Amino acid sequence: PESVRARMAEFGWDITTYIKSGQLEIIDCYSGLTGDSGAQVKEPTDLTEVTIQVTGALNKAKGAPVSVFLDSLTPIFNGLEARQAISFIQTLGAKVKKTGGVFVVLATIGAVPDESIAKIKSTVDGIIELDVVRKGRKVTKYLSIMKMERRRVSSEAVPFDIDQKRGGLVFQVHRFRLWKRLLPSISFDRTTAGKPVSEKTQPESGSTGVNQDPPASPSPDNSPFGPAPP
């Protein structure tokens, strides 16, 4: 949980208020692997315990929509049969969808069998693929929307950068001359049932060439979860 908070703080997102108010909950499935006896889930492959923890969080919302982000599928597929893992995803997805929320799963090609990736793709409502292409010394990140339920989409790969100053993604869509398009409420570092980000690079200081605005100070109002509760 602390590493998640630190990562979000880099974008100016102070999630402390949301955790205290119960609007955001981080279910720790990792610390148990390091021997932490206080971890909520001792083993990430203990799908029964994971389901209990997530169901408990859904019940706390008392019927309100709840969105769940599962990061990631790698340890689940590494420790269990693909059939069990896919059944777990489908069950959890149904629970979240029943609340009216969104269930987002992160997966990496290579860590999850191709056959399983194909099955996951066939059951989800949307697929976003991230990729990194290196040409010489230049590294370019690409985002493709491969599928989105009830939406007509183009699967064309669009170059993007992660802009920590603005707390989101900046897209360069040259054909429409939209040189800047910010997506402030989402930050990606892996794929949603798609290609992996095989390399992670940090933009050099002052070299983004896209946004030169001064950095936003960390504030609950700059959070992807909306204004902080009173």
pLDDT tens digits for 24-35? 999 998 887 777
Query: Tokens for 53?
Result: 């923890």
Q: Which residues contact 146 (CB under 8 A, 6 or more apart)?
A: 121, 127, 128, 129, 153, 155, 194
pLDDT tens digits for 49-62? 999 999 999 999 99
pLDDT score for 13: 86
Query: Tokens for 88?
Result: 């777990």
Sign of CA dihedral 93, 113, 50, 4: negative
Sign of CA dihedral 61, 50, 103, 26: positive
Q: Is a pLDDT exceeding 60 seen at residue 211?
A: no
Under CATH, what is the fold of the domain 2-222? Answer: Rossmann fold (3.40.50)
- How many of the other CB atoms lie within 10 Å of CB of 34? 7
The confidence band for 104, taking pLDDT boundaries of 50, 70 and 90, is very high
Whole-number Å distance between alpha carbons of 20 and 96: 22
**72: cis peptide before it, omega within 30°?**
yes
Phi/psi for 141 (5° steps) reads -95, 140
- How many of the other CB atoms lie within 10 Å of CB of 128? 18
Report which of 22, 23, 28 is spatially closest to residue 4, judged by C-alpha positions.
28
pLDDT tens digits for 60-91? 999 899 999 999 999 899 999 999 999 999 99
pLDDT score for 203: 41
CB 210 within 8 A of CB 182: no
pLDDT tens digits for 145-186? 999 998 888 888 999 888 877 767 676 554 444 434 444 444
